[in-house]
Structure 1
Amino acid sequence: MRSLTRLALATAATAALVGAGTGTAMADPASPHIIGGTSGSSPYIVQLVFGQSGGTYGCTGEAIAPQWILTAKHCIDGTQWMDVYYSNSVTSPGTPVAADQVAGSANGDVALVHLSSSKTLNSYAPLASSYSPRSGDTGTIWGYGLTAGGAQPTHLNKATVNVVGSSTDAYGGSAVHVKGVDGASNHGDSGGPLFLGGVIVGVCSTGDVADPGSDIHAGSNYANLTASRSWIKSVAGV
């Protein structure tokens, strides 16, 4: 049986999928798309499929180096195995790369996944050095989560959001609170990126409501990478 090694800084497993922060943590059964938005393509926004609590679940992640994926910590807590898919197609995801190690940040809903073999890309996800949430900032979110009404997706999706201000993620860390403009995050978008100014400032942690339905203006909370940025560099080298 496959198993994942916890790196020294990984947290102990907690109740899967539900965090202590605002809203409900957005991991959900695999084969999970952003509500509304549009289809998009990216070489480094990946699909994560993993075993947790006796079931198979899905999250979104970002390849930041040949053997490292950035995602949300609630996507690794209690996870026994994980496969990483680089295709943007959900229906034809291609051959996965297995993960062999995971680690969770001590500063919120941020995690790193180590691959058992390298995956070389032409470009990797660009990370901000820091970000202070400012009301009115406009960003873009990406993910493989459920689409409107819980329908299954076929492809990676993206949407435009507005920053409302600061909030809290599923582990009590600092988060960026956003509201959808033409689309919103849903279950399965956990770990997906929030881009502002061409760089990633946070990863999807929780939704303001447990079931956003078809509300393209729903709110969500993206774990701010600022407090974890030095930890990411020390572990993954980027």
Structure 2
Amino acid sequence: MKVFVVLVLAIASASAGLLPQAVPVHPRDSTAKPSINGRITNGKNAVADQFPYQVGLSFLGLKGSWWCGGSIIDNSWVLTAAHCTSGASYVTIYYGATVRTSPQYTQTVSSSNWIQHENYVSLTVRNDISLIKTPSVTFSASVNKIALPAIASRYSTYVGQTAVASGWGLTSDTASAVAKDLQYTDLTVIENSVCQKTFGSLVVTSRVICVATPKGTSTCQGDSGGPLALDSTLIGITSFGSPDGCEVGAPAAFTRVTSYLDWIKTNSGISA
């Protein structure tokens, strides 16, 4: 994996609350050596077939390799974060894995097979979403899709509801061991106004969903692009967190899927 890519916000504004108290960083690894470390901090081990929609994504680009997560939304489509696909040439998709190194099978596709949001802006973490077109897969107990939110729910804030995040990100801020098992944790959705106190309103827009991270439980490096699910429905895509670490108690942020239902349908033909 790579170390966090620190996003330098160079947008000047005199309005209070626009600029962040903390610079948001993607949970994506940026070291020169390609490796895959850790898991969700202070999470639990998933059991076989618990998250059949979860995939692992091993990206390769000119600047090295990195690991992300993704969600199956159709036989031929995986949804992930734009900061995961950005700069990559190829991705190997790991399907049906609970033990990371033992997927049911893998597929490797090139960048010509994905659609990164045309208005993705890394500096302000805008439109952090990508679609990956894959060869068709056969669904099973280990490999299956997750539902997208219904159009009627696009105005739901989900505040106060508990959703589940999963992935193979770091187990702690000091972790160096390779993760063996898929991890998951329950996280409670918070008001965007609370999240804006940390990251500012230029970053935390209505198209972002934030969760609290009590007791050092959070998404971390390697979880980028992975799912935030509520009642077997995909409501978020792991996007960014605090530069101070995953266990410091700062909010974790996700791309709000309900804000991109039209974009997903236009580019893939998939709707709820």
TM-score normalised by the chain length of structure 1? 0.82
Matches within 5 A, 1:133-212: 133-148=157-172, 149-151=174-176, 152-166=178-192, 174-181=207-214, 183-212=217-246
Paired residue type of 2:145:
Y
Greater CA deviation, 57-66 or 99-108? 99-108
Closer, same or farther: CA 137–24 of 1 in aligned 2, 3 Å = same
Q: What displacement does 1:174 show? A: 1.9
Q: What displacement does 1:163 show? A: 1.2
Q: Percent identity among equivalent residues?
A: 27
Does the 8 Å contact 1:67/1:119 carry over to 2?
yes
Does the 8 Å contact 2:58/2:65 carry over to 1?
yes
Does the 8 Å contact 1:178/1:219 carry over to 2?
yes
Closer, same or farther: CA 140–157 of 1 in aligned 2, 3 Å = same
Closer, same or farther: CA 237–52 of 1 in aligned 2, 3 Å = same
Alpha-carbon distance in structure 2 between the residues aligned to 1:217 and 1:94: 35
Matches within 5 A, 1:1-238: 17-19=5-7, 23-28=24-29, 30-32=35-37, 33-40=39-46, 41-86=50-95, 87-93=97-103, 95-100=105-110, 101-105=113-117, 106=119, 108-115=127-134, 117-122=135-140, 123-129=144-150, 130=154, 132-148=156-172, 149-151=174-176, 152-166=178-192, 174-181=207-214, 183-212=217-246, 215=247, 217-238=249-270
Q: What displacement does 1:95 show? A: 3.9
Closer, same or farther: CA 210–190 of 1 in aligned 2, 3 Å = farther
Alpha-carbon distance in structure 2 between the residues aligned to 1:169 and 1:197: 30
Paired residue type of 2:254:
Y
Q: What displacement does 1:234 show? A: 2.1
Alpha-carbon distance in structure 1 between the residues aligned to 2:114 and 2:208: 22
Alpha-carbon distance in structure 1 between the residues aligned to 2:166 and 2:202: 18
Q: What displacement does 1:220 show? A: 0.7
* Number of corresponding residues: 220
Residues 7-48 of structure 1, C-alpha deviations (whole Å, 9 max, x = no match): xxxxxxxxx945558510111254231001111132220000
Can you give the 5+ residue segments of structure 2 that lack an aligned partner in the other structure?
10-19, 120-125, 196-200
Greater share of residues in helix = 2
Alpha-carbon distance in structure 1 between the residues aligned to 2:205 and 2:155: 17
Alpha-carbon distance in structure 1 between the residues aligned to 2:169 and 2:214: 17
SS of 1:230's partner is: helix
Paired residue type of 1:24:
V
Q: What displacement does 1:193 show? A: 1.0
Closer, same or farther: CA 131–75 of 1 in aligned 2, 3 Å = farther
Residues 133-160 of structure 1, C-alpha deviations (whole Å, 9 max, x = no match): 3442211111111112324211111101
TM-score normalised by the chain length of structure 2? 0.72
Closer, same or farther: CA 83–35 of 1 in aligned 2, 3 Å = same
Does the 8 Å contact 1:60/1:191 carry over to 2?
yes
Does the 8 Å contact 2:6/2:243 carry over to 1?
no
Q: What displacement does 1:131 show? A: 5.1
Alpha-carbon distance in structure 1 between the residues aligned to 2:164 and 2:68: 17
Closer, same or farther: CA 218–91 of 1 in aligned 2, 3 Å = farther
Closer, same or farther: CA 112–65 of 1 in aligned 2, 3 Å = same
Greater CA deviation, 65-74 or 23-32? 23-32
Paired residue type of 1:118:
S
**Quick check: which has more Rg, 1 or 2?**
2
Closer, same or farther: CA 171–83 of 1 in aligned 2, 3 Å = farther
